[in-house]
C-alpha cells in the first residue's frame, strides 16, 4: 500500500497517517517526492484496507501495491498444480474436455449424451442435479435422483462426473456422488459454501462470478485452500458487460493473467458465455488457442426439448467437430505449456 498525500498536506497530517499505519502493526516509510510526500506501508501481515487511509485529512489516495492472496499465488508456489481426476490430469500440459447437458433430465437422456461425448473424446461428463435458476418457477433439477443418474453414467462410461453444489445442506450428498464438485457463478462469494468446499475431499471447480475481478476470484479460491483443500480448478465463463449479443462477454485475457498470478489450472465454459449455440464453437477454439487447460461445454442430443439452456447446447456432431479442432489447436500452441 502506498498512501499518497496532498501537495498541501501538513506534517501533522503525515504523522497521523504514520500513526495509523503503525497502530496496525505495519512499518511506515515516508517517501518525499518532487512536490508531495507518499508513505509506503511495509511488513503488513494480510491485506491492508485502502479505506483506512482514504478518509484521513491530507490524504489524496491510497494505492494497493501487492496482492492479498497467498496460497493461490505463484509467488508462494511456482510449480503448476496438477489435479488428477480418474485417469485424467487437469492442469498444465493437458487439455481436458468436459461435456454434457445443462441439467440431468432422465437416465435415458444422460446415458445417450454421455455415449456421444465419450465417443467424441470428452474426458469428464457434466450435468446439473441441483440447478440455480433465476425464476422460482423454472425447473430446479432432479436433486438426488440426478446424482444417482450421474453415478450410473460413470459406471457405464467410465467418465468421471462434475456437478454443481448449491448449498451446505446438500454438500455431503453432492460430494458423495461427484468426482469434481462445481461451485457456480452466483455462489463464487458465498463464503460459507467456500469454507465447506475447503473441507471437501473432492477437487472443486470454481466458476468466476459474473462481475468478479481476477483478484476476487483468486481470493475465493484462497478461501477454499485456506481450509486445506488445495485441489481448485478455476473456470472462466464470461463476465457481465454492456454487450448484449452474447449472454456474457468471455474474458480470455483472464487466462494469461491467471497463469501468471497463480499455479492453479484454468478451464473455460464457452457455453454460458455465449448463451447461443452458434458462438460456442468459435469461442471454444479461441479458449484453447489462448492456452486454457480445458473446456466445459454443454451438449444435448435433443436441444429443442432440453429443460434448460437448450439454445446454447451443441448437437453431438458439433461437439465432435469441436474436439477435432481444439486438439489440433492445442498442438499448434505447444500443449499450452508456454505463452
**Grid cell listed for 218:** 483468486
Closest separation between CB of residue 86 and a copy of itself, Å? 28
The 8 Å CB, 24+ separation contacts for 22-25 are 24/48, 24/52
Q: Please list every residue from 194 through 213 that binds a copy of itself, using CB under 8 A.
A: 195, 210-211, 213
As measured in angstroms, the least distance from the Cβ of 143 to a copy of itself is: 12
DSSP sequence for 173-234:
HHHHH-SEEEE-GGGTT-HHHHHHHTT-SS-EEEEPPTT--HHHHHHHHHHHHHTT---EEE
Binding residues with a copy of itself: total (CB under 8 A): 112
Contacts with a copy of itself in 137-196 (CB under 8 A)?
A: 137-138, 166-169, 186-187, 189-193, 195
Q: Is 276 in the site for a copy of itself (CB under 8 A)?
A: yes
Shortest gap between Cβ of 223 and a copy of itself (angstroms)? 5
d(CA 325, CA 276): 19
Q: Candidates 90-98, 199-207, 228-236, 268-276: pick the segment binding a copy of itself (CB under 8 A).
A: 268-276
Q: Are 282 and 322 in contact (CB under 8 A)?
A: no
- Residue 279 phi/psi, 5-degree rounding, is -100, -10
Shortest Å, Cβ 114 to a copy of itself: 21
| Region of 119-127, 146-154, 173-181, 305-313 interacting with a copy of itself (CB under 8 A) | 305-313
The CB density around residue 235, as the number of other CB atoms within 10 Å, is: 25
What is the rounded CA–CA span in Å between residue 101 and residue 141? 12
Q: Considering only residues 86, 121, 143, 310, which one is a binding residue for a copy of itself as defined by CB under 8 A?
A: 310
Smallest gap from residue 92 Cβ to a copy of itself (A): 14
Binding segment (CB under 8 A) for a copy of itself, from list 53-61, 144-152, 156-164, 172-180: 53-61
Task: Report how far Cα 300 is from the mean position of its chain's Cα atoms.
Answer: 23
Residues belonging to the chain: 339
Binders of a copy of itself among residues 239 to 258 (CB under 8 A) are 239-246, 249-257
Which range of residues in 81-89, 104-112, 173-181, 223-231 is near a copy of itself by CB under 8 A?
223-231
Which uninterrupted H or E stretch holds 339?
Answer: none
According to the binding rule CB under 8 A, does residue 274 interact with a copy of itself?
Answer: yes
User: Which residues from 26-45 bind a copy of itself, rule CB under 8 A?
Assistant: 27, 29, 31, 33-34, 36, 38, 40, 42-44
Amino acid at each position: 500500500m502506498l498512501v499518497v498525500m496532498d501537495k498541501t498536506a501538513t506534517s501533522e497530517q503525515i504523522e497521523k497517517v504514520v500513526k495509523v499505519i503503525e497502530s496496525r502493526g505495519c512499518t511506515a516509510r515516508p517517501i518525499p517526492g518532487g512536490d508531495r510526500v507518499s508513505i509506503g506501508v511495509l511488513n503488513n501481515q494480510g491485506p491492508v484496507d485502502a479505506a483506512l487511509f482514504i478518509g484521513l485529512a491530507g490524504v489524496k489516495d491510497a494505492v494497493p501495491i501487492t496482492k492479498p492472496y497467498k496460497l493461490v499465488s505463484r509467488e508462494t508456489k511456482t510449480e503448476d498444480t496438477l489435479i488428477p481426476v480418474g485417469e485424467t490430469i487437469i492442469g498444465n500440459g493437458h487439455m481436458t474436455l468436459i461435456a454434457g447437458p445443462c441439467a440431468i433430465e432422465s437416465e435415458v437422456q444422460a446415458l445417450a449424451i454421455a455415449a456421444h461425448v465419450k465417443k467424441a473424446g470428452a474426458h469428464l461428463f457434466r450435468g446439473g442435479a441441483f440447478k440455480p435458476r433465476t425464476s422460482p418457477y423454472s425447473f430446479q433439477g432432479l436433486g438426488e435422483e440426478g446424482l444417482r443418474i450421474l453415478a450410473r453414467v460413470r459406471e457405464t462410461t467410465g467418465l468421471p462426473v462434475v456437478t454443481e453444489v448449491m448449498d451446505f445442506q446438500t454438500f455431503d450428498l453432492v460430494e458423495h456422488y461427484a468426482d469434481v464438485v462445481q461451485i457456480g457463478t452466483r455462489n463464487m462469494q458465498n463464503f460459507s459454501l467456500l469454507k465447506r468446499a475447503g473441507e471437501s475431499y473432492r477437487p472443486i471447480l470454481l466458476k468466476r462470478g459474473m462481475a468478479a475481478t481476477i483478484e476476487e476470484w483468486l481470493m475465493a479460491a484462497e478461501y477454499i485452500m485456506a481450509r486445506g483443500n488445495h485441489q481448485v480448478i478455476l473456470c472462466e465463463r464470461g463476465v457481465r458487460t454492456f454487450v448484449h449479443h452474447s449472454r456474457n462477454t468471455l474474458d480470455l485475457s483472464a487466462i494469461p493473467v491467471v497463469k501468471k498470478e497463480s499455479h492453479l489450472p484454468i478451464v473455460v465454459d464457452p457455453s454460458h458465455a455465449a448463451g447461443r449455440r452458434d458462438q460456442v464453437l468459435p469461442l471454444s477454439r479461441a479458449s484453447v488457442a489462448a492456452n486454457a487447460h480445458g473446456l466445459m461445454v454443454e451438449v444435448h442430443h435433443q436441444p429443442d426439448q432440453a429443460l434448460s439452456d437448450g439454445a446454447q447446447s451443441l448437437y453431438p456432431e458439433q461437439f465432435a467437430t469441436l474436439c477435432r479442432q481444439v486438439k489440433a489447436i492445442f498442438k499448434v500452441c505447444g500443449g499450452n505449456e508456454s505463452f
